[in-house]
Structure 1
Amino acid sequence: MILAQEPSLGADAGPGTAGSLRTHPSDDHAATAGPRPTVVFHCIDPCREGGHDHRTKASVAHALADLLGLPFGGFYRADAPPQGPLFFVPSETLTSVQAARQLGIEDGAQLFGGVVPHDFVATKLVSHGLVHAQATAPAGWQPAHGEAVQAVTLPGYSVFSAPDALLAAERLLAHGSLRLKKPDGVGGLGQQVMRHIDELRLWLDETDAEVLRQHGVVLERNLRQVETLSVGQVQAGPLTASYVGTQQLTTNHRGEEVYGGSTLTVVRGGFDALRAMRLSPEMATAVDQALVYHQEAARHYPGFLATRANYDVAQGIDDRGQWRSGVLEQSWRIGGASGAEVAALQHFQADPACRAVRASTHEVYGDQVPVPAGARVHYDDDDAEVGRVTKYAQVEAHADL
């Protein structure tokens, strides 16, 4: 269970408990005799090793290895793994304790990322409850979790059948437009704003009922004038850091607005240290909401473990003019802000007296992008899908933090 005063990054069911992983290792790697672990980037299918996303994450994994003073083994290959113990940086959240143990992961000292007990827990679906008690839901669904996070998420439902979707839409549309979101969409992809029930009926007519039953969909209150905040916590070796920040958009080579990076206020320690910072009311709200979400996931889904946790919190105006704030989704895996997370940890490691820094990631489309001195470039190449893009992370220490 995570304590509000000093939350850890996972739920520890205790040694020997069936279906559990130890959040805290019984032996620290640094104090254990024997070979040092090799850090590997584990690319979960589908994976394009040459793509910009996975090459960037692999580079961040390399930076993490540098932080931990461990060798970096590159991309993990099950048919030819490096010799000796491994430290995994998976590209996605591991969706079963068994999957983690098959990799040799027994506790948080062997992982930068997360483990959940069911596939749906790693998606947007876990951010909402069902539309009624008898609604269709996958095996392992915990109705109490949806009730517990209702106050810290936007009004919405996770649905797995056409009748449930229509009922949910009727309730939401009575108060304004809704946003339909596919559970595994990233960067705003797989989303559609609807203002009339007939738009949903058309979508349902074009959607296979079995696909809907297996994968589900989220229906959620739509906001405008939205700002997305990021709240998170990371742990690597003896270091723990927590943060709140904002995401930026940029324009890609097709003229589309896409993710352009994150700017984070990072503090040494847990969420209590973050809450002690001089935060704006909006940021303080986002931090409190993310902490509740984090606590409830650990409480309702045994086997949950995360040494990297990031929560997107949307703040904006609904169709009735009411300001709202709510957690949209979680990321218990290496992500777009991880370059800044690791850079901040490296700064804390180098300067034990430092309590807070500003860290940022940047994704810039174009040729000959100027990179600030001291920044670490994680990708600078011509990607087959998105064209030329440069990604880097940097840290700035600020006395006013």
Structure 2
Amino acid sequence: MDPRGCLDKPDRATFRPGPACPQRTGWRCAAEIPAGRSAAARTPDRVAPGDAAAGCTARLSLGAARRAGGHEARTHAALTRRIAMLTGRAYVGEHRAGRRYEGPVYFVPDRTLLQQEAAELGIGGEGDLFGGVVPFAFVATKTISHPLPDAQARAPQGWVHALGERLADAVLPGYAAFSRTDLERAGERLLTAGAVRIKAAHESGGNGQCVVRTPGELRAQAAALDASTLERHGVVVERDLSRATTYSVGTALLGAWRVAYVGSQRQTVDHRGAEVYGGSDLMVVRGGLQDLLALDLHEAQRRAVAQACRYDAEVMRAYPGTYASRRNYDVIAGRDGDGRLLSGVLEQSWRIGGASAAELLAIEALARDPGLQCVRASTYETYDGEVPDGAEIHYRGRDERVGSLVKYGLVHPQ
């Protein structure tokens, strides 16, 4: 099959029985289920019921959502309310340290938590939050997708050097760097085969990125970076692709419900004329990846799911103690400077994110209809204010940084 055709096809799928996931993953695909256990024991769409209706749900604003009145904070609050409704818990707003709550608190943080932070909050596993927990801050960033330029390169404490090699077939050619010297050395190697993209590890949504095509441009960009920020957060330098499609692959566990999804992202134009994230179109199924792979996926989607599966498994293996109830992976497919088709995971998101509204709407639809196996749901971010009938709006307003913005979700008819 011509891979260009795969990239150009619209997402089409019909739910039907199909093969199990062929490789071992942290998502318990069918291939790793011991003999004698039923299919329901693989990755059930309904996990063991517990105290889902007891306690309360609180949002935890530690990142962008700390900007009071900003679109991130208001979106975070709206989605946390919906999570509380879905799980039958009371919504108590922002979590306050020292406040006494009735029953256990279910947390919805706006960034991935460190193990120490989770322990102080009483979080002991993926059933206690909609998000994730990591042993080191850098594990939650895109730097872990790539190896360092060499053994002498600067690395943060806890860095697992072997992970980069294990992920080689699941990511684009690239490196992580935590100093200007390492960035220049890594970039020069990649420039021999075409343009490269430099991405600040602590930024999201396409911010903090640039493309360089010559050693001179590379040196200029490296010199412009703040040395202390670079040492603390790091950057990624990787092959730049054209004619690219970005896929979203992930799973979400919420109360008694577990779903998996694959879909693609859309770009839109903001008030400055820049291309920014415009939403995601997801195909969501009950259960885990083995159920997702039972769909009639086209080749590019199936490759994206397989690469996300591999990425997830290797990261969990490299950094024990990492866990997440919400796992989202951005997987890009496109052409490099020589016209070769490349694909790979760009980064992980173990927190509430841009596709979460679609995830929650899909869970609602599946909960209402026990016979429904697959649902299509979308999120939209638009700067022109137009909203179709039937949309679930979770933000409409004027943000002091980005101007007027509307965010909404839709479940599409079957």
SS of 1:29's equivalent? coil
1:331 equivalent in alignment to 2:374: no
Choose which of 198, 201, 209 in structure 2 pairs with 1:180.
198
1:86 equivalent in alignment to 2:105: yes
Range moving further from structure 2, 47-56 or 118-127: 47-56
1:352 equivalent in alignment to 2:374: no
CA contact (8 A) 1:37 1:86 kept: yes
**Counterpart-to-counterpart distance in 2, 1:198 and 1:251:** 30
SS of 2:167's equivalent? helix
1:225 equivalent in alignment to 2:243: yes
SS of 1:150's equivalent? coil
**Counterpart-to-counterpart distance in 2, 1:183 and 1:3:** 25
1:197 equivalent in alignment to 2:219: no
> Mind listing any 5+ residue stretches in structure 2 that lack a counterpart?
1-24, 33-46
Q: Which residue of 1 aligns with 2:268?
A: 250
**Counterpart-to-counterpart distance in 2, 1:54 and 1:3:** 30
**Counterpart-to-counterpart distance in 2, 1:74 and 1:289:** 37
What are the equivalent positions in structure 2 for 1:85-234 lying under 5 Å apart? Answer: 85-94=104-113, 96-234=114-252
Q: Which residue of 1 aligns with 2:393?
A: 377
Choose which of 26, 45, 57 in structure 2 pairs with 1:2.
26
Q: Which residue of 2 aligns with 1:21?
A: none
RMSD over equivalenced CA pairs, Å: 2.1
Q: Which residue of 1 aligns with 2:94?
A: 75
1:29 equivalent in alignment to 2:51: yes
SS of 2:268's equivalent? strand
CA contact (8 A) 1:356 1:397 kept: no
Offset at 1:50?
A: 1.1
Give the TM-score normalised by the residue count of structure 1. Answer: 0.89
1:391 equivalent in alignment to 2:410: no
Aligned-partner residue type, residue 304 of structure 2: A
Offset at 1:202?
A: 2.1
What are the equivalent positions in structure 2 for 1:257-336 lying under 5 Å apart? Answer: 257-336=275-354
CA contact (8 A) 2:206 2:277 kept: no
**Counterpart-to-counterpart distance in 2, 1:274 and 1:142:** 30
CA deviation string 1:68-88 (max 9, x = no partner):
111111122225464432000
> Mind listing any 5+ residue stretches in structure 1 that lack a counterpart?
9-24
Offset at 1:348?
A: 1.1
Q: Which residue of 2 aligns with 1:57?
A: 76
Q: Which residue of 2 aligns with 1:11?
A: none
Give the total of aligned pairs.
376
Aligned-partner residue type, residue 336 of structure 1: G
Aligned-partner residue type, residue 385 of structure 1: R
Offset at 1:353?
A: 1.1
CA contact (8 A) 2:249 2:263 kept: yes
Offset at 1:109?
A: 1.4
What are the equivalent positions in structure 2 for 1:9-20 lying under 5 Å apart? Answer: none
Offset at 1:148?
A: 1.0
Give the TM-score normalised by the residue count of structure 2. Answer: 0.86
SS of 1:151's equivalent? coil
**Counterpart-to-counterpart distance in 2, 1:69 and 1:3:** 26
SS of 1:262's equivalent? strand
Offset at 1:211?
A: 3.4
**Counterpart-to-counterpart distance in 2, 1:316 and 1:45:** 31
Identity %: 45
Offset at 1:26?
A: 9.4
CA deviation string 1:81-133 (max 9, x = no partner):
64432000000011x21110111111211100000111111111011111112
Offset at 1:377?
A: 1.4
**Counterpart-to-counterpart distance in 2, 1:254 and 1:201:** 28
**Counterpart-to-counterpart distance in 1, 2:71 and 2:409:** 15
SS of 2:352's equivalent? coil
Offset at 1:383?
A: 2.0
Check 1:7–1:267 CA distance in 2 against 1; reply closer, same or farther (3 A cut).
farther
Q: Which residue of 2 aligns with 1:14?
A: none
**Counterpart-to-counterpart distance in 2, 1:253 and 1:166:** 34
CA deviation string 1:137-192 (max 9, x = no partner):
10000011111111110000001223322221221011111111100221211111
SS of 2:162's equivalent? helix
SS of 1:98's equivalent? helix
Range moving further from structure 2, 54-63 or 109-118: 54-63
Offset at 1:193?
A: 0.7
Offset at 1:352?
A: 1.1
**Counterpart-to-counterpart distance in 1, 2:158 and 2:29:** 29
